[in-house]
């Protein structure tokens, strides 16, 4: 059984002049323990695909399934519970609560499930340590760098050990070393705990840890062509590393 399955999923938006085919008849599966990396140019529909996989957006046609069950069949309450307990979603913007320590930002999903503050802080501390922020537990977002805030968001997504991880450019604010560590962590979560992961990225390092690599172009998913412009390359790797290093030097 697939952890995540999209069956002929369609999502179109009406633009100013024409219909935008963000996701166009996409079918894909992510098995338990599998990490799938999804590349593609900006505007290809990658983020929309993740929103559909998380049931944050509803498809215009087709079906999204988790562990064999159609998410369209869930009531609003069941859907909210599914998103909170089964899905770890890493967004491009960390969306941390200002004025709240890192450990409590990372613990939010547990607190929403009525886990005690003490126990939630303990679990969140473990995951913050795994993303290299064990020494920043009490720091509020204003005292963290952009890369550190992103790692808090990753810990928040993983703190309740979800069965499905959906990540939108999780290494976009990290230097190459920290990005590689986060990708290795996501891969270990899949292989050690049987989670499935769909990772939207431009990071060439993701291809090294992924079980499969796909490309989304013009709303459609296909296997990566090693010779295509979307495929990671040594030159792209060097450019990405240089850009990430420059970003990490910013306050």
Q: What is the mean pLDDT of residues 77-94?
A: 93
Which residue is associated with the tokens 């695909």? 49
What is the band of 14 on the pLDDT scale with cuts at 50, 70, 90? confident
Residue 185 is predicted with a pLDDT of 92
User: Angle 117-130/146-158 helices, nearest 10 degrees?
Assistant: 120
pLDDT digits (tens, 9 = 90+) for 128-139: 999 999 999 999
pLDDT of the residue at 245: 40
pLDDT of amino acid 92: 86
Q: Which region, left, alpha or beta, applies to residue 40 given φ > 0 means left and ψ of -120 to 50 means alpha?
A: left
Environment class of 68 (CB within 10 Å of its CB; exposed 0-12, middle 13-18, buried 19+): exposed
Indicate if the pLDDT at residue 31 is higher than 60. Answer: yes
State how far the alpha carbon of 59 is from the alpha carbons of 44, 62, 196, in Å: 16, 7, 21
Q: Per-residue pLDDT for 114 more than 90?
A: yes
Q: What is the pLDDT of residue 1?
A: 63
Q: What is the pLDDT of residues 200-209, one digit of tens each?
A: 999 999 999 9
Q: What is the average pLDDT value for the chain, to the nearest integer?
A: 87
- Determine the average pLDDT of the residues in 208-228: 82
Runs of H (alpha helix) within the chain = 46-53, 76-85, 102-106, 108-112, 117-130, 146-158, 176-193, 206-209, 234-248
Is 60 exceeded by the pLDDT of residue 234? Answer: no
The tens digit of pLDDT for each residue in 153-179 reads 999 999 999 999 999 999 988 889 989
Give pLDDT, residue 204.
Answer: 92
Q: Domains in the chain, ordered, with CATH?
A: 4-86+162-248 (3.40.50.300)
- Token duo for residue 3: 């952890």
């Amino acid at each position: 059984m697939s952890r995540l399955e999209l069956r002929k999923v369609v999502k179109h938006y009406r633009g100013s002049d024409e219909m935008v085919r963000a996701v166009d008849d996409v079918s894909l599966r992510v098995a338990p323990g599998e990490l799938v990396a999804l590349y593609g140019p900006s505007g290809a529909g990658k983020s929309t695909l993740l929103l559909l996989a998380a049931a944050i957006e509803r498809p215009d046609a087709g079906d999204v399934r988790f562990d064999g069950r159609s998410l369209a069949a869930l009531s609003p309450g069941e859907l909210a519970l599914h998103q909170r307990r089964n899905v770890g979603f890493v967004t491009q913007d960390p969306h941390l609560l200002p004025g709240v320590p890192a450990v409590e930002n990372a613990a939010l999903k547990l607190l929403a499930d009525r886990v005690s503050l003490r126990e939630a802080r303990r679990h969140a501390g473990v995951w913050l340590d795994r993303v290299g922020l064990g020494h920043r537990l009490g720091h509020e977002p204003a005292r963290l760098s952009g890369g550190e805030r992103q790692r808090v968001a990753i810990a928040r997504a993983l703190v309740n050990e979800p069965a499905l991880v959906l990540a939108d450019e999780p290494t976009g604010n990290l230097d190459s070393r920290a990005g590689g560590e986060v990708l290795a962590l996501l891969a270990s979560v899949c292989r050690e705990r049987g989670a499935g992961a769909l990772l939207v990225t431009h990071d060439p390092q993701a291809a090294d840890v992924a079980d499969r690599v796909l490309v989304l172009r013009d709303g459609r998913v296909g296997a990566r062509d090693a010779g295509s412009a979307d495929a990671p390359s040594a030159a792209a790797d060097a450019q990405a590393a240089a850009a990430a290093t420059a970003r990490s030097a910013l306050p």
